[in-house]
């Protein structure tokens, strides 16, 4: 929970707080800022390599190196001098830290330690980001308003190292996946298939396609939530509350889906939640105004964001086992994060093109409908052996 809450995902959820200040400081448009953040996601291409390192050497060194890289990215952003390329560089460093501080690492720890209630365990572990989004949105908004955007980036750097790293390293002691796994002659340590075998399986591609589509919609929304609220007539403080509503939604989505997939087949559960979020996106595209209606719709729209962060690691372990879990998850991340990039860039650029977010939100609704279809088409594992 600590790792998920203070990792790179927090920057993704908080980035819209910095958007007005960066526009004022450097004259960048929302599309410029969104494109820079989206292009930085090319750093996710290192995810398969990070996964292989975690499978071979354990997740402890991967987490340590990634959290230090995250802090370097924040400090780079705090030192911006006006060049958009500097913003590109800072975001690139943050995104390169993402694989090692995501469910690629923490999901493997949880999957190894839990079996019967793995879905709920993953939901609780990954809920740290949603919890921190609720807490950090008003705090970071106040810091940026009182001391400026540079202080906001420094605060994130301190939180990711001084506050997060010591309890993380202490907390994972004794978990087998944390350290380098022992070599077992002529046999894999854990059941499952290799990453190469998984990538040849159509279930892998249906799984990552669903993640791409969910990320396109939900990440595009959360990275523009404050500007959306301002455009719909809310003040800055009220608009920031939408981030809190999104965080509450993500927790609810994780816990609801995590509990249900331990008891029922996960694919129809995921499809049902995706349909609810798709309907909320459609209603947002229709031009809803007012704090209460917007909070309700943001809550419903964000349910799938919370669910996806639980579903992808759960499905990776369920469908392909734990033998090469981190590398398989790492192979899925670049495709899933392509959806994140498309959402971030698309929502910002579509706003610049049309002057509002209606088209972007409608596309988000369509993407979630397509994700629901992918979940329904996704077969279960071919064999019945427990992983």
- CATH number where 91 lies: 1.20.1250.20
Name the one residue in this structure whose structure tokens are 């460093």.
93
Query: Span 312-316, mean pLDDT?
Result: 83
- Between 306 and 293, whose confidence is greater? 293
* Per-residue pLDDT, 9: 81
Q: Is residue 386 part of a domain?
A: no
* Tokens matching residue 229: 């609220």
For the cut 60, the answer to whether the pLDDT of residue 210 exceeds it is yes
281 pLDDT tier (thresholds 50, 70, 90): very high
pLDDT at position 358 is 92
Number of domains in the chain: 2
Query: 33-37, 192-196, 337-341, 347-351: which has the minimum mean pLDDT?
Result: 33-37
**Mean pLDDT of the 357-370 span:** 95
> Residue holding tokens 């002529």?
186
196 plus 162 within the same structural domain: no
97 and 69 in a single domain? The answer is yes
Q: Are residues 177 and 277 in the same domain?
A: no
**pLDDT score for 385:** 39
If pLDDT is split at 50, 70 and 90, which confidence band does 184 have?
very low
| Residue 314 in domain | yes
- In this structure, is residue 214 part of a structural domain? yes
With H, G, I as helix, E, B as strand and everything else as coil, classify residue 16.
Answer: helix
Rounded (10°) angle between helices 106-113 and 118-147:
150
Residue that finishes a domain, picked among 161, 181, 201: 181
Whether 147 and 60 map to the same domain: the answer is: yes
Beta-carbon neighbour count of residue 26 at 10 Å?
16
Same domain, 4 and 149: yes
Q: Pick from 181, 207, 234: which residue ends a domain?
A: 181
pLDDT digits (tens, 9 = 90+) for 115-140: 778 888 887 887 788 788 778 878 88
- Distant-in-sequence, close-in-space partners of 238: CB < 8 Å, separation ≥ 6: 229, 291
Mean pLDDT along residues 196-209: 90
Residues 163 and 296 in one domain: no
Cβ neighbours of residue 281 closer than 8 Å, sequence gap 6 or more: 217, 221, 301, 361, 362, 364, 365, 368
Asked if the model's pLDDT at residue 374 lies above 70, the reply is: yes
List Cβ<8 Å contacts ≥24 apart for 155-163. Answer: 156/10, 156/11, 156/14, 156/74, 157/70, 157/71, 157/74, 157/75, 157/78, 159/6, 159/10, 160/6, 160/7, 160/10, 160/67, 160/70, 160/71, 160/74, 161/67, 161/68, 161/70, 161/71, 163/6
Residues 240 and 285 both lie in one domain:
yes
Q: Is residue 96 part of a domain?
A: yes
- Per-residue tokens: 251: 């927790």
| The domain boundary residue, chosen from 147, 181, 215 | 181
Q: What are phi and psi of 348, to 5 degrees?
A: -70, -45
Same domain, 196 and 83: no
Please tell me whether residues 324 and 248 are part of one structural domain. yes
The boundaries of the domain holding residue 28 are 1-181
Q: What is the CA radius of gyration of the chain?
A: 20
Contacts of 63 (CB under 8 A, 6+ apart): 3, 100, 101, 105, 168, 169, 172
Same domain for 375 and 260, yes or no, is: yes
Q: Give the residue among 221, 219, 314 at the shortest CA–CA distance from 266.
A: 314
Tell me the C-alpha distance between 160 and 64, whole Å. Answer: 11
Give the pLDDT band of residue 371 (cuts 50, 70, 90): very high
pLDDT at 262: 84
Both structure tokens of 192: 């499952």
Domain assignment present for residue 209? The answer is: yes
Phi, psi of 189 (to 5 degrees): -65, -40
Residue 40 in this model has a pLDDT that exceeds 70: no
Asked if residue 103 lies in contact with residue 122, where contact means CB atoms within 8 angstroms, the answer is yes
Q: Which region, left, alpha or beta, applies to residue 175 given φ > 0 means left and ψ of -120 to 50 means alpha?
A: beta
Q: Are 268 and 348 in the same domain? A: yes
Residue 235's pLDDT is: 81
The tokens for 333 are 């991340």
Burial 213-249 (b: 16+ CB within 10 A, else e): bbbbbbbbbbbbbbbbbbebebeeebbbbbbbbbbbb
List the structure tokens of 200: 């040849």
What integer pLDDT is reported at residue 376 of this predicted model? 93
118 plus 55 within the same structural domain: yes
Q: What is the mean pLDDT of the chain?
A: 83
**Where would I find the beta strands (DSSP E) of 294-351?**
none
**What pLDDT band is residue 180 in, cutting at 50, 70 and 90?**
low
Please write the tens of the pLDDT for every residue from 67-83. 999 999 999 999 998 88
pLDDT at 382: 46
387 located within any domain: no
Own/partner contacts of 361-365, CB < 8 Å, gap of 24 or more, are 361/221, 361/281, 361/282, 361/284, 361/285, 362/281, 362/282, 362/285, 363/216, 363/217, 364/216, 364/217, 364/218, 364/220, 364/221, 364/281, 364/285, 364/301, 365/217, 365/278, 365/279, 365/281, 365/282, 365/285
């Amino acid at each position: 929970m600590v790792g998920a809450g203070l990792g790179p995902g927090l920057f993704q959820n908080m980035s819209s707080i910095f958007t007005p200040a960066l526009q004022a400081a450097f004259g960048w448009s929302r599309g410029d800022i969104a494109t820079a953040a989206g292009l930085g996601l090319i750093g996710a291409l290192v995810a398969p390599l990070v996964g292989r390192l975690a499978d071979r050497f354990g997740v402890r060194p991967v987490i340590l190196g990634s959290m230090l890289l995250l802090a370097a990215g924040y400090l780079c952003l705090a030192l911006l001098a006006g060049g958009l390329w500097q913003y590109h560089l800072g975001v690139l460093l943050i995104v390169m830290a993402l694989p090692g501080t995501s469910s690629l690492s923490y999901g493997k720890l949880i999957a190894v330690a839990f079996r019967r209630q793995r879905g709920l365990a993953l939901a609780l572990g990954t809920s740290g980001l949603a919890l921190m989004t609720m807490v950090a949105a008003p705090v970071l908004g106040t810091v940026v308003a009182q001391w400026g955007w540079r202080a906001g980036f420094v605060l994130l750097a301190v939180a990711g190292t001084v506050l997060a790293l010591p309890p993380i390293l202490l907390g994972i002691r004794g978990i087998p996946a944390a350290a380098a796994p022992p070599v077992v002659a002529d046999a894999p340590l854990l059941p499952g298939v290799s990453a190469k075998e998984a990538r040849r399986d159509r279930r892998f591609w249906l799984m990552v396609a669903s993640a791409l589509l969910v990320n396109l919609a939900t990440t595009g929304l959360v990275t523009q939530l404050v500007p959306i609220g301002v455009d719909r007539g809310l003040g800055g403080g009220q608009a920031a509350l939408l981030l809190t509503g999104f965080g509450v939604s993500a927790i609810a989505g994780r816990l609801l889906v995590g509990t249900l997939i331990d008891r029922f087949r996960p694919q129809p559960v995921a499809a049902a939640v995706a349909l609810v979020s798709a309907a909320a996106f459609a209603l947002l595209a229709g031009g809803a105004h007012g704090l209460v209606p917007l909070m309700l719709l943001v809550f419903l729209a964000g349910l799938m964001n919370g669910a996806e962060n639980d579903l992808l690691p759960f499905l990776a372990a369920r469908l392909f086992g734990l033998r090469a879990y981190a590398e398989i998850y790492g192979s899925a991340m670049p495709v899933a994060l392509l959806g994140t990039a498309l959402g971030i860039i698309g929502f910002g650029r579509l706003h610049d093109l049309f002057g509002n977010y209606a088209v972007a939100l409608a596309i988000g609704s369509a993407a979630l409908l397509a994700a629901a279809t992918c979940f329904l088409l996704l077969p279960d594992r071919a064999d019945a052996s427990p992983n």
